[in-house]
Amino acid sequence: MTPLRQRFIEDLQLRNYSRDTVKAYVNGVARFAKRFGRSPDQLSPEDIRSYQLEMVRDGVCWTTFNQTVCGLRLFYQLTLDRPEQVRLIAYGKRPKTLPTILSPEEVLQVLDSARPGRDRVLLQTTYSCGLRLSELLNLQVTDIDSSRMVVVVRQGKGRKDRLTPLSARLLDVLRAYWLTCRSRPWLFANGHTGQPYSKVLVQRICQEAVRQSGLTKPTSMHTLRHCFATHMLEAGVDLRTLQVMMGHNHLQTTARYLHVRTEHLRRTPSLLERLMLPTDGPTEGRS
């Protein structure tokens, strides 16, 4: 590891960025340097602009594009102390797309299709608590507070703790699971290594359950979190409460789930049904 990379990592760690965020930002700067075959401190604003245009032409997804931008901006701001270059590194505009939402019946279909035991409990916990995948894997046994019927999500995105409701049914499921899968301190861990399961493994478990369910909608672990938020709103939970449960910094982030609720759409009048449409059968006087 070069001294420059090590310093960038330390600059990010000093500001309490998560391990995953540090990795993403460092990798973004490394890809930029590799493209030109030179150390990033020797590259110019024009090189950055050229690289950004290449990413656009190559159809790089918005997440990767903006992670790279964030990494470059912090690298030039913190590590190289060149604030004049930061303002030239433009963010990409986030595309406004709606997340995939499963109906409660479809969620149940996926959960029932997962293998009983560990696989099913992982998916049930994610949906019931609205967890991110990293939050699920970082759950410890002591985070299940049955006296207050809450799950404590520690150091979620943005290094924030929060509470999410613990349903009585999930508590029973977790207690039964714990009788056969004791892995302190983690709630979900590999019995051989004692470490939390990998993200790749859990995503694979989810995809297998979706395949077995027969659903064709694109569905991932994060889809279950989207479903939690949408179904909570449809059940009458107010937006501010949901924001706290989801761990969102801004209410606007939570408000996007208002666009995927369906119960208010079902209550709107159907214009087609209100029209006096002719029937396809024979009418009076027609020969």
Catalytic residue set = 132, 157, 222, 225, 248, 257
- Helix extents (H) in 37-149: 45-57, 62-74, 83-86, 104-113, 118-129, 133-137
**CA–CA separation, 115 and 237 (whole Å):** 31
Q: Are 154 and 161 in contact (CB under 8 A)?
A: yes
Cβ contact 89:48 at 8 Å: yes
Q: How many CB atoms lie within 10 A of CB 232?
A: 19
Separation between Cα atoms, residue 110 and residue 207, nearest integer Å = 9
Report residue 94 as tokens: 């986030």
Handedness of CA 117, 212, 203, 217 (dihedral sign): negative
Q: Measuring CA to CA, which residue among 125, 116, 80 is closest to residue 225?
A: 125
Per the CB < 8 A criterion, the answer to whether 210 and 219 are in contact is yes
